[in-house]
Structure 1
């Protein structure tokens, strides 16, 4: 499909809560740990029964943290109903992963080994444990700004958070050890979260045989085709909360999908040719949601304001981590204990003047930076948002790769020239190139 990229200029110096849609009404079905289950009433999938080890994982501080991470970052400033979180998305992804895997197992007896489906479900449940404040705002905007060249990804943090979860919760650790006698299942879970790529987080020898069954890796996060249950849940959930309806039929796709030994490749999940139109609807839904939410000019403005606040606070906020060591916000990605304390509420702590544990060496600098951060937050709350001053959509003939070599300063000057007349005519205060950023979005 065609890739589009847009340039959006955002003024940065001109001027200067949580609804959970997964029910808390949880019904315990058994007092036995091995048969423990909980029921969640989900607005998207209806009744979801979570069983076994996954129940214990959900009832940990590390997983409950997801309640305080908005799924769409700044999207709720455009769509007021889009205040859903990573918590309910993770449970929805768990549900779809288990459903899809069992449909495939029924049609392909012997393809799945004992424990494979449970590993897929746990991977689906935990795949977003590593998200930071305001989800992709943290890893796509904040970290690249304060740590240029960083290769850190939230998927890696998800694996680290899962390991930390097991370390910090003895009852979960014991239950997991019962499930995973030789340690190979934990490695498979981590490998599925990471997409089966070679990394330092997975013991290669324990997953070598599993990687020959690529279909195990194509249910939760399919980096080969982009067709996976993670997307299906957020298509349905984000669309529902935003009031935008998609037409993709995930149930039809699951029923018609097959595991096939592809020539010169491992067995993969394949679709019938008459599913092409349904898959087109899926990718069209993705494009529509990205354009209307993620790349909406107001969403981008809000998210850049959030990043400005986080960047301003980065040198003064101290978050306790491993061994009692105090970490900057940007340093938390290297300390999973400190990272587990990060969530969207960090803005509320700043805005309401709650004690932040800030550095005392330079009180004046601390005061000034807190004042700057609170000024931006005051603008955000009063909807005095960053404005879009220019936009460019690439045509089909333009080379998408050119964006990597774009002269940003030149682009800023061109945007300034275009907007200068309007600014002068309205008698507004002129602004310079350093007052705004260029944001590149890809669909």
Structure 2
């Protein structure tokens, strides 16, 4: 069977078909037609809405009348952020509403690595960009699972809740990040409401994140926006919280209640709780972002490929429970995740100069605690430590407390001593490390202890099987069981 002959138009034919209409063919409207089309409506023709119509159009839709935006409308209202780690990030318009609040903007003034900025000049990044990066990775992962495994029944509301949790998971960080909740707050047990059992719980800034999220929603009327436009139930009421609000806070701080069970989503969707803060194996998007971001700003190489790792994840049923699992061929990449984390702890997070600087800042804040105060919304004044009990005061507490103490006009012995400590930091006259000594360890959990001249011992972190498992700080008496690996002595 022969192929049909193709018909090629000549240049003349093409030109003929694309000709501009001739003078005879063109239709020029008359002056009467132009005037008729441009006439202004007469008083009888003009329609002026009545007061009732204006009021009806401006009414807030009820729950039954709520209008959920279409995908096209959401796409049009989304915003693009240029991130140095993940490139161009497009965020949902509701996420932008959360970002454009005083509670979230506060994170611009909280250093991600605290005292490391005094050691690594590039470590100037803040919690603000880390939270946006975590939100992005959380969205990418949950959307990937939704596309690959439709049987998981992941809804758009689930995706948005996971992204909000990633965005708001660090709202509760205080000045200099972990220095505040791991070093400063333990000195004030009477106001440390974030901690249940401090010797067991590593960090409770997550509890502060829940408090700040509740304050953010109420203070910026985000509940109405989320419910009417996107169908999210994020009522922050403590006695009867919205189901989606409960889901978001559980992803940030874990299950609530004495039974320690998740209530925000049914058991078939409990794998979603492993995305932001994975209590099962500690592999989560929060870690992916801060490892990549910290390496970038510290000038260290990141050997973990989170993009490749993400594409090899799948939800499987293990022992009757749905879990996020990874392909066996990604074992070496997974090893790199914990290897680079261990490297960062040794090179940066536990750097002895960083420890010295943070200890000095902490000592200054303790001395100034009763003199530097912040007003809550009711006019009550709160000390630095008491701010954790009142979000409207805590929102004012950032790394700026360093200069508030340094330039304070309050004249008393405690403030003078606090200023002297901070002036020493500026002149690089730091607490000096006098040396380290290896001791005999009798346990697979080996502790590092840092000793300062004020005869206090700081339980700083522990090793388990040569990999750093957790990070703590607590004042306590020297242990008698010999489970000490290293003694670092500092002198003021």
- TM exceeds 0.5? yes
Q: Which runs of 5+ in 2 are unaligned?
A: 1-70, 196-203, 235-241, 463-467, 469-492
Instruction: Quote how far apart the aligned CAs of 1:439 are.
Output: 4.5
The Cα offsets for residues 348-371 of structure 1, whole Å up to 9 and x where unpaired, read as: 122223x6xx7xxxxxxx521211
Q: 2:223 aligns with which of 173, 185, 197?
A: 173
1:159 and 2:217 correspond: no
Equivalent position of 1:371 in the other structure: 416
Instruction: Quote how far apart the aligned CAs of 1:129 are.
Output: 0.5
Equivalent position of 1:315 in the other structure: 370
Q: 1:237 aligns with which of 287, 290, 293?
A: 293
- In the alignment, the residues of structure 1 paired with residue 193 and residue 244 of structure 2 have an alpha-carbon distance, to the nearest angstrom, of 30
Equivalent position of 2:355 in the other structure: 300
Q: 2:244 aligns with which of 158, 181, 185?
A: 185
Equivalent position of 1:143 in the other structure: 185
- In the alignment, the residues of structure 1 paired with residue 72 and residue 304 of structure 2 have an alpha-carbon distance, to the nearest angstrom, of 39
Q: 2:103 aligns with which of 24, 45, 62?
A: 62
Instruction: Quote how far apart the aligned CAs of 1:437 are.
Output: 4.5
Instruction: Quote how far apart the aligned CAs of 1:150 are.
Output: 6.2
TM-score, length of structure 2 as denominator length: 0.71
Instruction: Quote how far apart the aligned CAs of 1:241 are.
Output: 0.2
- In the alignment, the residues of structure 2 paired with residue 260 and residue 31 of structure 1 have an alpha-carbon distance, to the nearest angstrom, of 33
Contact conserved, 1:130 with 1:154, CA < 8 A, in 2? yes
Equivalent position of 1:399 in the other structure: 443
TM-score, length of structure 1 as denominator length: 0.78
* Structure with more contact order per residue of length (Cα contacts < 8 Å, sep ≥ 6): 1
* Secondary structure, counterpart of 1:434 in structure 2: coil
User: For residues 320 and 203 of structure 1, do their structure 2 counterparts lie closer, same or farther at Cα, with a shift above 3 Å needed?
Assistant: farther
* Secondary structure, counterpart of 2:412 in structure 1: helix
1:382 and 2:449 correspond: no
Contact conserved, 2:101 with 2:216, CA < 8 A, in 1? yes
- In the alignment, the residues of structure 1 paired with residue 164 and residue 209 of structure 2 have an alpha-carbon distance, to the nearest angstrom, of 12
Equivalent position of 1:89 in the other structure: 130
* Secondary structure, counterpart of 1:79 in structure 2: coil
User: For residues 250 and 374 of structure 1, do their structure 2 counterparts lie closer, same or farther at Cα, with a shift above 3 Å needed?
Assistant: same
Contact conserved, 1:82 with 1:241, CA < 8 A, in 2? yes
Q: 2:172 aligns with which of 123, 130, 133?
A: 130
Contact conserved, 2:303 with 2:340, CA < 8 A, in 1? yes
Moved more, 67-76 or 185-194: 185-194
* Secondary structure, counterpart of 1:128 in structure 2: coil
- Give runs of aligned pairs for residues 400-439 of structure 1, distance below 5 A: 400=444, 403=447, 433-434=453-454, 437-439=457-459
* Secondary structure, counterpart of 2:319 in structure 1: coil
Equivalent position of 2:393 in the other structure: 338
* Secondary structure, counterpart of 1:440 in structure 2: strand
* Secondary structure, counterpart of 1:55 in structure 2: helix
Moved more, 317-326 or 135-144: 317-326
User: For residues 206 and 295 of structure 1, do their structure 2 counterparts lie closer, same or farther at Cα, with a shift above 3 Å needed?
Assistant: closer
- In the alignment, the residues of structure 1 paired with residue 251 and residue 101 of structure 2 have an alpha-carbon distance, to the nearest angstrom, of 21
- In the alignment, the residues of structure 2 paired with residue 81 and residue 181 of structure 1 have an alpha-carbon distance, to the nearest angstrom, of 41
User: For residues 376 and 43 of structure 1, do their structure 2 counterparts lie closer, same or farther at Cα, with a shift above 3 Å needed?
Assistant: same
The Cα offsets for residues 231-260 of structure 1, whole Å up to 9 and x where unpaired, read as: 010000000000001211111111111100
1:217 and 2:217 correspond: no
- In the alignment, the residues of structure 2 paired with residue 249 and residue 193 of structure 1 have an alpha-carbon distance, to the nearest angstrom, of 24
Contact conserved, 1:394 with 1:400, CA < 8 A, in 2? no
Equivalent position of 1:20 in the other structure: none
Q: 2:140 aligns with which of 86, 93, 99?
A: 99
Instruction: Quote how far apart the aligned CAs of 1:113 are.
Output: 2.8
Q: Which runs of 5+ in 1 are unaligned?
A: 1-29, 359-365, 413-431
Contact conserved, 1:187 with 1:203, CA < 8 A, in 2? no
User: For residues 387 and 211 of structure 1, do their structure 2 counterparts lie closer, same or farther at Cα, with a shift above 3 Å needed?
Assistant: farther
Kindly indicate which of the two structures has a greater share of residues assigned to strand: 2
- Give runs of aligned pairs for residues 33-48 of structure 1, distance below 5 A: 35-48=76-89
- In the alignment, the residues of structure 1 paired with residue 379 and residue 267 of structure 2 have an alpha-carbon distance, to the nearest angstrom, of 39
How many residues get paired?
374
Contact conserved, 1:319 with 1:328, CA < 8 A, in 2? yes
